[in-house]
Structure 1
Amino acid sequence: MTNPLDELVTKALDRRPPTREEAARVLGTEFDVLDVVAAAARVRRHFFGNRVKLNTIINMKSGLCPEDCTYCAQRLGADSDILKYSWVPPEEAATAADAAATAGAKRICLVASGRGPGQRDITRISDTIEAIRAKQPEVEICACLGLLSEGQAQQLRGAGVHAYSHNLNTNERRYGDICSTHTFTDRVSTVREATSAGLSPCSGAIFGMGETDEDVISLAFELLELDPDSVPINFLIPMEGTPLEGQWGLTPQRCLRILALYRFFFPDVEVRLAGGREIHLRNVQALALHLANSIFLGDYLTSEGQTGDQDRQLITDAGFVVEGTEETTLPPERHDLVTVRRRGVGTDLAPNV
């Protein structure tokens, strides 16, 4: 009898996503969590070997956001004791980026709170990238500035931005439960705007906000439609002063099952272990590296992470190596998977239905 987890591995290696029923079984209790991790780890190793890509966040502008996302300590009306400041100078950001790249970070994520960038903000990012490139010309630059207006993605690309990060965060059905100042459609539109401009799309989720298994699965399918190159998986950090400060329902096992599921959905995509990993995975972070091929190094936007030494030791102890700048993160393009249609309407052959 065929093992259902083996079937999921076979589908993933062929870049075919799970069905909703298969996904529900991964999140459920039918399979032991270690068996789920072992199966998804086979997929991770096939496409990414034993490499771990390091990324770091530079919070260019902290707090004072007009949006009301309930998970965020920077939100409108939040009573969280976080750092609040306007745009940091390009030289300060470049110094931080230089230190991170020297410590092994391959991608620098420039993040700013707010609904979206104005023209002055685009100029600030451009000046910051120029300063970073003067010290670290090879490092990848990712921008995360909120909702984009028409033409802004092209401007960012012209400034040297490699990728644009804009998470969907939760599925469309329940998006209104976590934010009222913009919509799920707004977020989808921004990811598509970035992709159309030639920026590498980065879009993922935050889990631990009261979502059901069906919500987790629906979001995976919604993300698939955006065809992202990077999928950050965040686990809610319930910051005091936010509406979700009491949400502590995640367990390490739940986090591992979600990571495994998203590896099955995104077999050859950069699945990034992001915010909240230290808090919710705790002593099983090493197991998570067998699922995610990318992590954030250092601190997050409003909370502190492990030290760089701890992260690098974690990677080494788990038998992995830090991915170098000379290596390509994503697998080679698979033109052999592209087949020109020669059947169906317009031909004498029957359609493939």
Structure 2
Amino acid sequence: MRCEHPSRDDLLGVLSWPDEDLLELVAAVGRVRRRFFGDRVKLNYLVNLKSGLCPEDCTYCSQRLGSGADIVTYTWLSSEQTRRAAACGIEGGAARVCLVASGRGPTDRDVDRLAPAIAAIKDDNPGVEVCACLGLLSPGQPERLREAGVDAYNHNLNTSEERYADICSTHGFADRVETVQRAAQAGLSPCSGLIAGMGESDGDLVDALQELRRLDPDSVPVNFLIPFDGTPLAGRWELTPQRCLRILAAARLVFPDVEVRLAGGREIHLRSLQPLALHLANSIFLGDYLTSEGGPGAADLEMVRDAGFRVQGTDAQSLPAHRLDLVRPRRRGAGTDRPPNA
């Protein structure tokens, strides 16, 4: 099955769609979402393994170097603490646990320390996916993570290549591309997305989505900036619920048969229009995020039901069967038409 990808002009048109006709756009793009994912919504749960104390200067992040944000900081959770934290989300219906740690990237010792926690999570919950998000990966580390039982690796591109230097100076866009490629080539399911609301133009959003398309991820988180006090982007409240829906619609059209996930900031920026977003995205985070509170898990489950959807169980595949059949065998070569540092 071939999926025709929208042109740049098509995507710019979606991002400038008039508010008064927005329901028509949601209905049209929602048919694409239902074609590949039906009425399923996949729940994901974040476990913040290590908070703050990051040497990187990403301007959007409350854990950045020199951040004045009022957050809790701590070093690595123990394996038992990680297992217990993961259990909270799984009990609420999460099919994927995302293990996240601040920092530029893991040491080999950090990779090793995760193995017991991953084994415990999987022993307790057969069928639950484990996704790691640990920063930039060095050669050999993706393979070691896979051997430890990690199923997927998240590393977001966040914005366009042209704008990347505006939001971070301690690493570059090419470093992020390289990490996503390394994860995919090691057999980890690649997860990479973006952050909207950082002052980017419609063209920047389209560039970011098209670069993500070239990387061929299996899941695409769409984050909406939470402008923490104490960060350079504090006070930047430029998103409306309608703009968030247009961004999600564009993401779905670029990724018709890929998991599109409502991620950080959805409660703040979509507000009462969150149920409409489920007609575009087929995946959400349940509960809290890294350093900010999400909505009550029970309210999320109620929203899913009230919008006419159902929670995806751990026995269901996250991707359509045709994508598993046609894409997975080529996974080792995904994205290799672009040199790692191009």
- TM-score, normalised with respect to structure 2: 0.93
Please give the secondary structure, in 1, of the residue aligned with 2:3: coil
Deviations 1:41-61 (A, max 9, x none): 000000000000000000000
**Residue 125 of structure 1, CA deviation:** 1.1
Instruction: Name the counterpart of 1:194.
Output: 183
Instruction: Name the counterpart of 2:14.
Output: 26
Q: What's the RMSD between the two structures over aligned residues? A: 1.4
Query: What is the identity, as a one-letter code, of the residue corresponding to 1:252?
Result: P
Q: Trace 1:69-218 onto structure 2 (pairs within 5 A).
A: 69-218=58-207
- Residues 157, 207 of structure 1: alpha-carbon distance in 2 compared, 3 angstrom cutoff: same
Please give the secondary structure, in 1, of the residue aligned with 2:318: coil
Instruction: Name the counterpart of 1:329.
Output: 318
Structure 2: state its 5+ residue gaps: 328-342
**Residue 329 of structure 1, CA deviation:** 1.3
- Residues 334, 122 of structure 1: alpha-carbon distance in 2 compared, 3 angstrom cutoff: closer
Deviations 1:148-176 (A, max 9, x none): 00000000000000000000000100000
| Structure with max Cα Rg | 1
Q: Which runs of 4+ in 1 moved over 4 A?
A: 334-338
Deviations 1:104-161 (A, max 9, x none): 0000000000000001110111121122123223210000000000000000000000
Kept after mapping to 1: 8 A contact 2:17/2:246: no
Q: Trace 1:274-289 onto structure 2 (pairs within 5 A).
A: 274-289=263-278
**Residue 97 of structure 1, CA deviation:** 1.1
Please give the secondary structure, in 2, of the residue aligned with 1:96: helix
Q: How far apart, CA to CA, are the structure 1 residues paired with 2:7 and 2:195?
A: 22
Kept after mapping to 1: 8 A contact 2:130/2:149: yes
Query: Could you tell me the percent identity over the aligned residues?
Result: 62
Kept after mapping to 1: 8 A contact 2:99/2:131: yes
Instruction: Name the counterpart of 2:330.
Output: none
Please give the secondary structure, in 2, of the residue aligned with 1:148: coil
- Residues 315, 148 of structure 1: alpha-carbon distance in 2 compared, 3 angstrom cutoff: same
**Residue 34 of structure 1, CA deviation:** 1.1
- Residues 334, 274 of structure 1: alpha-carbon distance in 2 compared, 3 angstrom cutoff: closer
Instruction: Name the counterpart of 1:310.
Output: 299
- Residues 199, 334 of structure 1: alpha-carbon distance in 2 compared, 3 angstrom cutoff: closer
Query: What is the identity, as a one-letter code, of the residue corresponding to 1:297?
Result: L
- Residues 99, 17 of structure 1: alpha-carbon distance in 2 compared, 3 angstrom cutoff: same
Q: How far apart, CA to CA, are the structure 2 residues paired with 1:16 and 1:77?
A: 44
Deviations 1:262-286 (A, max 9, x none): 1000000000000000000000000
Q: How far apart, CA to CA, are the structure 2 residues paired with 1:238 and 1:106?
A: 29
Structure 1: state its 5+ residue gaps: 1-12, 339-353
Query: What is the identity, as a one-letter code, of the residue corresponding to 2:11?
Result: A
Q: How far apart, CA to CA, are the structure 2 residues paired with 1:328 and 1:267?
A: 16
Q: How far apart, CA to CA, are the structure 1 residues paired with 2:79 and 2:287?
A: 20
Kept after mapping to 1: 8 A contact 2:44/2:96: yes
Query: What is the identity, as a one-letter code, of the residue corresponding to 2:6?
Result: P
**Residue 336 of structure 1, CA deviation:** 9.6
Q: How far apart, CA to CA, are the structure 2 residues paired with 1:270 and 1:322?
A: 14
Q: How far apart, CA to CA, are the structure 2 residues paired with 1:50 and 1:83?
A: 37
